[in-house]
């Protein structure tokens, strides 16, 4: 058995403890949103932040003079309502402005071992961190430490490294542009490109795939395009839970006649029907039906399905030449068209149907919608990217759009939806293991020589820590342990570091699995006023559509001992490099306008940064693909052809995909319910087709053990409950992070190294049968 497997009858402290009780399970019969969302928002806000305090905060969310929602990166409309947030955004805000506090007294009472026995939801519910804390080597508890001693110890350790590459600097997508810029500058002045981030684990496949196909690793649409599209293909995503404000854009599109096609193994409630909580018509009539066609693709079957849609379009084009494809666009702006046609001709319909798990008639219906659309958007999330063939998935979507010229014109284009509020901005700011194209400008601006060798991405960082090649792991936000694959292997890797340090607002499991020494550095949240030298500061973020805008916290900080992310980084840099450093760290942190001036000098697209970000709504970064100018080697968009992946498994195995519940945001767990899937009271569940359950003599609610199989290795997780669910046969679904223990570290996307947690080969057995 692989060393990452869960030992029998033992709870590992790095894993969420097993749930108690039996889950309740039944169909959800209402529209997404609606009064259920209102009731949930009010209840969570009242219980967490207090109704008056919570409402004050919520009325500032996504407003031009307020703060950017700390949840997803969906863009703001031009004309904003008084209430400009969704249910999950409201929970993220209430979670940050909670009245509860995690103080030094709390850590004195709770040992690390006892904390590890609590659930992730319990850890999160304890409240905001208030004081810097340290776990000394061998200690059972964290203890308070001054900021001065914290920076002195961390700075000494960084100065003493045998080589700069023995430090890793991880980043979550919630940090601001200003903090991200300082962070990458700190790492590169130190001499390393070890800057893994959460993009490595989510949309790296999008960035690689789009970069090779159209010359830019970002989406090409704006929010305005959703009001112009004739068809929207929503692929591998669940916006009702993961980015609910997207449902408003889909609702408006549907009401004006746009056709919406959903492609996903699960039929998610948020794409079936949506009731806008602020629309009386929706509340009275039960909402708006969103999806015209729902294609229940098998796990891993997206390439086969998309090839089928394109093959049907090709057949229609041959029947009526010039009506199906935009040959003028193809001729002028693309390369590789003949290769795609040859591949479609060589791919048989039986192969397509078997690979997709979707009947021919439904594939043809999707093709008919695509052919009748003058402008089509394809939007996707982790259901496409977290596969071995994640890059190929994205490039096949691009192929589909290129056939009718659906790039670089109004109402059309690619739209990868980011799950963190500034994960795209972090990458723009240089948070990447590869030297950015503007490295020379960075060197010139600050007078140092930056490293040119690529550093560690997330997978590489875990591997390096595990083999003992990393002394310091520093995380700017996030919950690295729970977010990454192969949980037990990752935990072992973290324990082999000399120091682990986390800049955080809330307690999470990553604080409980540490290096020999560990630091918790509490920072200001997005909602809180940031005063530097008595002067109020604002930060900037970039949304999923490349719009940079400002965010200004207004609430009093949760503790007088909190520092901003930028101040933490500046003081860490000063403690590391001393006064002789080429970078004026304190000056940059004293006034964030100085950081923005530096960004303007270094990063293309930020000219007149201060002037343009002062405009309500911000400004759009350059995106040549929107103008049909493609920064590829040929100067044209590329049709990139991929074979249908072979997804056959040995008898008895199933494809497991991990999903998010409605009561969580990424690794932050708010509760144990998943309202839209009708699951209540437990998260350690596995959703199965009733025939797959019958084949294994499983009944509803049986306790099962799940084993994953990869390269001769076996990982296992116990204490899951089997639930009957409407999911394609041969596929099962589980929640992350609980099922991350089953995802092998080396099971990642070709080309992007994104963990392939959306298709893991598993067996499911009744736990009693295991003895």
Instruction: Give dist(CA 122, CA 103) in Å, integer.
Output: 16
Q: pLDDT at residue 164 above 80?
A: yes
pLDDT category, 7, cuts 50, 70, 90? very low
**Among 389, 321, 308, 318, which residue's Cα sits nearest to residue 350?**
308
Q: What is the pLDDT of residues 328-380, one digit of tens each?
A: 999 999 999 999 999 999 999 999 999 999 999 999 999 999 999 999 999 99
Domains of the chain: 24-30+649-770 (2.40.40.20), 101-201+422-614 (3.40.50.740), 204-416 (3.40.228.10)
Report DSSP letters for 205-251, one per residue.
HHHHHHHHHHS-SS----HHHHTT-SEEEEES--HHHH-THHHHHHH
Q: Which residue has the higher pLDDT, 70 or 408?
A: 408
Taking 90 as the threshold, does the pLDDT of residue 716 lie above it?
A: yes
CA atoms within 13 A on the CB side of 321: 0
pLDDT at 209: 97
Coil, strand or helix at 464: helix
Mean pLDDT in the chain? 94
- The pLDDT of residue 771 is above 60: no
Report whether pLDDT(5) > 90. Answer: no
- Taking only the tens place, the pLDDT of each residue in 545-569 is 999 999 999 999 999 999 999 999 9
- Cβ contacts of residue 388 below 8 Å, gap of 6+? 645, 747, 748, 749, 750, 756, 759
Could you tell me the CA-to-CA distances from 202 to 233, 383, 389, 394, 634 in Å, in that order? 20, 10, 13, 13, 28
Element (H, E) at 281: helix 280-285
Find the mean pLDDT for residues 675-684: 93
b/e sequence 532-548, b meaning 16+ C-beta within 10 Å: beeeebbbbbbbbbbbb
At residue 90, the pLDDT reads 87
> Is the pLDDT assigned to residue 76 strictly greater than 90?
no
Residue 769 has pLDDT above 60, yes or no: no
Instruction: Give the pLDDT confidence of 519-553 residue by residue, as tens digits.
Output: 999 999 999 999 999 999 999 999 999 999 999 99
Q: Inform me whether the pLDDT recorded for 187 exceeds 60.
A: yes
Give the dihedral of Cα atoms 436, 439, 445, 450; nearest 10 deg.
120
The answer on pLDDT for 619 being more than 80 is: yes
Average pLDDT over residues 466-481: 97
**CA-CA distance, 40 to 43, in Å (whole number)?**
5
Reply yes or no on whether the pLDDT at 691 is more than 70. yes
Is the pLDDT score of 6 beyond 70?
Answer: no
DSSP, collapsed to helix, strand or coil, labels residue 678 as coil
The secondary structure of residue 626, as a DSSP letter, is: G
Tokens read off for 246:
């997207």
Specify the pLDDT at position 11.
Answer: 56
Over residues 243-281, the pLDDT tens digits come to 888 999 999 999 999 999 999 999 999 999 998 988 888
pLDDT beyond 80 at 395: yes
Tell me 748's DSSP state: B
What average pLDDT score do residues 501-511 get?
97
Is the pLDDT assigned to residue 682 strictly greater than 70? yes
Contacts of residue 642, Cβ cutoff 8 Å, sequence gap at least 6: 303, 389, 392, 395, 396
User: What is the pLDDT confidence band of residue 447, given thresholds at 50, 70 and 90?
Assistant: very high
Higher local confidence (pLDDT), 242 or 395: 395
What are the φ/ψ torsions at residue 321 (nearest 5 degrees)?
-55, 135
Rounded Cα distance between 336 and 146, Å, is 61
What pLDDT was estimated at residue 162?
Answer: 97
Q: Are 375 and 329 in contact (CB under 8 A)?
A: no
| DSSP at 21 | S
Which of the four pLDDT bands, split at 50, 70 and 90, describes residue 10? very low
Q: Which residue(s) pair with 169 in the sheet?
A: 474
Predicted confidence (pLDDT) at residue 579 exceeds the cutoff of 80: no
Evaluate if residue 689 carries a pLDDT over 90: yes
β-strands 24-25, 259-263: how paired?
unpaired
Please say if the pLDDT value at position 1 is more than 60.
no
What integer pLDDT is reported at residue 768 of this predicted model? Answer: 74
* Residue 137 CB neighbours (<10 A): 11
Q: Does 133 have pLDDT greater than 50? A: yes
Q: What is the mean pLDDT of residues 659-663?
A: 94
pLDDT at 457 over 90: yes
H-state helical runs in 606-717: 609-613, 690-695
> Residue 86: its pLDDT value, please?
86
Asked if pLDDT for residue 735 goes beyond 90, the answer is: yes
Indicate whether 770 pLDDT > 60: no
Contacts of 124 (CB under 8 A, 6+ apart): 95, 506, 507, 508, 668, 669, 670
Quick one: 768 exposed, middle or buried, by C-beta within 10 A (0-12, 13-18, 19+)?
Answer: exposed
Partners of 518 in the beta sheet? 135, 500
Cα dist. 643→297, 346, 414, 637 in Å? 17, 11, 22, 20
Residue 3: what pLDDT? Answer: 40
- Which alpha helices (DSSP H) does 320-457 contain, by range? 327-333, 337-346, 349-356, 360-372, 382-385, 390-402, 423-428, 439-446
Q: Side-chain half-sphere of 598: how many Cα atoms within 13 Å?
A: 26
Q: Which residues pair with 231 in a beta bridge?
A: 259, 376
């Amino acid at each position: 058995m692989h060393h990452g497997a869960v030992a029998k009858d033992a709870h590992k402290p790095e894993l969420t403890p097993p749930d108690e009780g039996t889950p309740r399970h039944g169909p959800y019969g209402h529209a997404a949103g609606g009064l259920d969302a209102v009731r949930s928002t009010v209840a969570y806000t009242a219980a967490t932040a207090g109704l008056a305090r919570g409402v004050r905060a919520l009325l500032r969310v996504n407003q031009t003079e307020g703060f950017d929602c700390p949840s997803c990166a969906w863009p703001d409309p031009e004309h904003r309502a008084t209430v400009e947030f969704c249910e999950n955004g409201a929970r993220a805000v209430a979670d940050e402005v909670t009245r509860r506090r995690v103080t030094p007294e709390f850590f004195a009472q709770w040992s690390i071992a006892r904390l590890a026995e609590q659930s992730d939801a319990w850890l999160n519910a304890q409240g905001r961190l208030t004081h810097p804390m340290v776990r000394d080597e061998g200690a059972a508890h964290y203890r308070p430490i001054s900021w001065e001693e914290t920076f002195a110890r961390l700075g000494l350790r960084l100065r003493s490294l045998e080589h700069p590459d023995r430090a890793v600097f991880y980043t979550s997508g919630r940090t601001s542009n200003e903090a991200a810029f300082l962070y990458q500058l700190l790492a590169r002045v130190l001499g390393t490109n070890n800057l893994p981030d959460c993009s490595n684990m989510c949309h790296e496949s999008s960035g690689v795939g789009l970069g090779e196909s159209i010359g830019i690793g970002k989406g090409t649409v704006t929010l305005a395009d959703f009001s112009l599209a004739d068809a929207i293909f929503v692929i591998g995503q669940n916006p009702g839970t993961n980015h609910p404000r997207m449902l408003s854009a889909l609702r408006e599109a549907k009401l004006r006649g746009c056709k919406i096609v959903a492609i996903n193994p699960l039929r998610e409630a948020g794409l079936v029907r949506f009731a806008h909580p602020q629309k009386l018509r929706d509340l009275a009539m039960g909402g708006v039906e969103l999806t015209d066609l729902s294609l229940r693709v098998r796990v891993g079957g997206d390439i086969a399905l998309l090839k089928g849609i394109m093959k049907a379009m090709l057949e229609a084009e041959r029947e009526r030449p010039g009506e199906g494809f935009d040959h003028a666009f193809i001729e002028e702006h693309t390369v590789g068209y003949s290769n795609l046609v040859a591949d479609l001709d060589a791919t048989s319909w039986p192969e397509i149907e078997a690979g997709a798990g979707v009947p021919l008639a439904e594939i043809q219906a999707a093709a008919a919608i695509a052919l009748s659309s003058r402008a089509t958007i394809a939007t996707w999330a982790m259901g496409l990217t977290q596969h071995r063939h994640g890059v190929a998935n994205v490039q096949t979507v691009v192929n589909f759009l290129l056939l009718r010229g659906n790039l670089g014109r109004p109402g059309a284009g690619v739209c990868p939806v980011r799950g963190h509020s500034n994960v795209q901005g972090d990458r723009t700011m240089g948070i990447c293991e590869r030297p950015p194209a503007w490295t020379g400008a960075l060197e010139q601006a600050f007078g140092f020589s930056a490293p040119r060798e690529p550093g560690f991405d997330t997978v590489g960082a875990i591997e390096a820590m595990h083999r003992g090649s990393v002394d310091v792991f520093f995380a700017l936000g996030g919950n690295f342990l729970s977010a990454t694959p192969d949980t037990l292997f990752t935990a072992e890797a973290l324990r082999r570091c000399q120091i682990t340090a986390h800049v955080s607002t809330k307690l999470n499991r990553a604080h409980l699995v540490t290096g020999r020494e560990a630091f918790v550095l509490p920072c200001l949240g997005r909602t809180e006023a940031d005063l530097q030298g008595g002067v109020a500061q604002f930060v900037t973020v970039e949304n999923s559509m490349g719009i940079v805008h400002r965010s200004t916290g207004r609430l009093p900080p949760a503790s007088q001992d909190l520092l901003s992310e930028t101040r933490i980084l500046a003081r860490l840099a000063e403690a590391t490099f001393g006064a002789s450093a080429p970078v004026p760290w304190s000056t940059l942190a004293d006034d964030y306008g100085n950081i923005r001036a530096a960004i303007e000098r270094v990063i293309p697209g930020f000219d007149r940064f201060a002037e343009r970000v002062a405009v309500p709504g911000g400004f759009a970064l350059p995106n040549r693909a929107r103008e049909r100018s493609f920064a590829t080697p040929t100067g044209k968009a590329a049709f990139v052809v991929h074979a249908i992946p072979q997804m056959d498994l040995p008898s008895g195995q199933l494809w497991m995909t991990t999903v998010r519940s409605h009561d969580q945001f990424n690794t932050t767990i708010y509760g144990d319910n998943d309202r839209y899937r009708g699951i209540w009271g437990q998260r350690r569940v596995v959703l199965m087709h009733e025939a797959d359950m019958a084949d294994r003599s499983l009944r509803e609610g049986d306790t099962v053990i799940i084993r994953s199989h990869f390269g001769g290795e076996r990982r296992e997780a116990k204490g899951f409950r089997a639930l009957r669910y409407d999911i394609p046969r041969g596929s099962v679904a589980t929640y992350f992070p609980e099922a991350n223990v089953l995802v092998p570290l080396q099971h990642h996307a070709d080309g992007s190294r994104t963990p392939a947690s959306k298709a893991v080969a598993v067996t499911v057995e009744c736990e009693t049968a295991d003895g």
